[in-house]
Amino acid sequence: MASTNEPAKPTISGEHPRQHGGRREPPLWRGLRKVWYAMGPGFITGASDDDPSGIATYSQTGAHYGYALLWTAVWQLPLLYYTQEAVARIGAVRGKGLASAIREHYGLPLAVLLAALVVVADTINAGADIGAVAGSAHLVLPVSTKLLIVLTTTLVLVCVAFVGYRRYANILKFLGLFLLAYLVTVFAVSQPWGTVLKSTFVPHIQFTTSFLFLLVGTFGTTITAYCWFWQSDQEVEEELADRMIGPDGKVDQQQLDPFLKRVKTDTKIGTGWAEVVQWAIIVTCATVLFSHGVTNITTAAQAASALKPLAGDYAKDLFAIGVVGVGLMAIPIFAGVSAYAMSELNGWRKGLDEKVKDARLFYAVIIVSTLIAELMNFVGINMIKALVWTAVIWGFVAVPLLFAIGRLNSDPKVLGPHRGTRASRIWVWITFGVMTLSAGALLISLI
């Protein structure tokens, strides 16, 4: 029989079952710690999917059409999960990001074209999100919007450049929890739950240009290319932090299977969280704004401001706080995606755990793209129109990228025994079909 004085062993997630002084942790606290340790790149990516631009799209959806598009939050879930899990697995198995995989298997010209479009769209998105964070913070703090834009940009760049990957990942996870504000808002407002539940599961489609445009926008905002690049690269960062990648650049196969299990759990948490928040935002705006005839919503800050006279200060403040928190998460992710893509195409040293002096070009892309995004808020660019064009870029970039992801996910020569399961392969190709139709519908609506 084992001695009772034997020190307790750490669990698989790294937490210790006893607190200081030998006292056992309460079950609730242990459960929360397990969830926290389970959350990684998948959760961060899922939360960033609900960036301020996405919040604006979901707010507009609820305000303009009520509960009519609420079903998208449920029906998008398998498309989002299987796509994110596939890119995460591609990154983890190869020990390289998605841009590198596309370059190796489809050639440099296609990789450069897709990366260039991603960098442009990322920069515009980051600019819009900086403005949204400042505008939303202004609703809560008596500080000028211009000063808040500068403070937001400065805070993001300092964190990216001088905080190590592990600490920075924890900061991003914490910011992702700010999206809880939208769940609190849903239950703080009286809801017609029968109608809400029916609309959640029963699809409704109107064959009008504006409805189809918002439908396509909702899918394009949720299933989007920057999330694919980001998560694939962050899984590699996790492997580097865990010393799973050797000097030869190969991944330790003994550690890979348990790592991939954690990736699946993490991705389920992240994609589920993204869709729950989307659902909450649409419900809130449908109940509070649509039912009172407030249908002209174009930004997240405008949605937060519109809630005040109808649902009170608490609803406005919670909505605004959610925008600020997830915006501070999403802005560096947009810049990071651009830096990873450029570094992989050019063979530059990269990684958020690298010091600035050791990965100058990687950090230069982050700094320059973030400063350009900041500048866009001072030179009179109409960010709403810019975001429309960003949606167009994302919509058309998604199609060839999903084709490449589908091929990589199915190829045993690329992933060996870790190629996608039958369910994974089917759902990724279904996602390719849905996004192809969405891009076609978007083009028709624009024409």
Domain annotation covers residue 73: yes
pTM above 0.75, yes or no: yes
Q: What is the dihedral of CA 350, 352, 357, 361, to 10 degrees?
A: 40
State the CATH number of the domain containing residue 427. Answer: 1.20.1740.10
Range of the domain at 304: 39-412+423-446
Residue 15 inside a domain? The answer is no
Tokens standing for residue 398: 């998604």
Domain count within the chain: 1
Residue 418 has a pLDDT of 95
231 falls within a domain: yes
Could you give the percent of the chain with pLDDT greater than 70?
A: 92
pLDDT tens digits, 367-393 = 999 999 999 999 988 777 777 677 777
Asked whether 71 and 200 are in contact (CB, 8 A), the reply is: yes
Give the whole-angstrom CA distance, residue 245 versus residue 95: 7
Residue 27 has pLDDT above 60, yes or no: yes
DSSP helix/strand/coil, 251: strand
Question: What per-residue string of b and e applies to 23-39 under the rule 16 or more CB within 10 Å gives b?
Answer: eeeeeeebeebeeeebb
Q: What is the mean pLDDT of the chain?
A: 86
Once rounded to an integer, what is the mean pLDDT over residues 68-85?
96
pLDDT of residue 169: 80
Contact 85, 424 (CB under 8 A): yes
Distances (CA, A) of 240 to 86, 122, 166, 170, 253: 20, 25, 11, 16, 14
Region of residue 249 (left: phi > 0; alpha: psi -120 to 50; beta: else): left
Long-range CB pairs of 254-258, under 8 A, 24+ apart, other chains included: 256/92, 256/93, 256/418, 258/12
48/56 Cα distance (integer angstroms): 13
Residue 259 counted as domain residue: yes
Cα–Cα distance for residue pair 197/69, rounded to 1 Å: 12
- Distant-in-sequence, close-in-space partners of 27: CB < 8 Å, separation ≥ 6: none
pLDDT tens-digit profile of 97-137? 999 999 998 888 888 888 888 888 899 999 999 998 999 99
The whole-number pLDDT of residue 1 equals 40
Residue 109 lies in a domain: yes
pLDDT tens per residue across span 294-353: 888 877 778 888 877 766 777 788 888 888 988 898 898 999 999 999 999 888 999 888
CB neighbourhood size of 48 (10 A):
29
Q: Is residue 10 assigned to a domain?
A: no
DSSP 63-125: HHHTTTTTTHHHHTHHHHHHHHHHHHHHHHHHTS-HHHHHHHHH-HHHHHHHHHHHHHHHHHH
pLDDT score of 177 more than 70:
yes
Question: Is 64 part of a structural domain of the chain?
Answer: yes
pLDDT of residue 23: 61
Q: What is the pLDDT of residue 424?
A: 97
b/e sequence 324-361, b meaning 16+ C-beta within 10 Å: bbbbbbbbbbbbbbbbbbbbbbeebebbbbbeeeebee
Residue 412 has pLDDT above 50, yes or no: yes
pLDDT digits (tens, 9 = 90+) for 246-277: 888 889 989 999 999 999 999 999 999 999 99
Confidence check: pLDDT of 9 > 60: no
Is residue 24 a part of any domain in this protein?
A: no
Lowest mean pLDDT among 34-43, 161-170, 360-369: 161-170
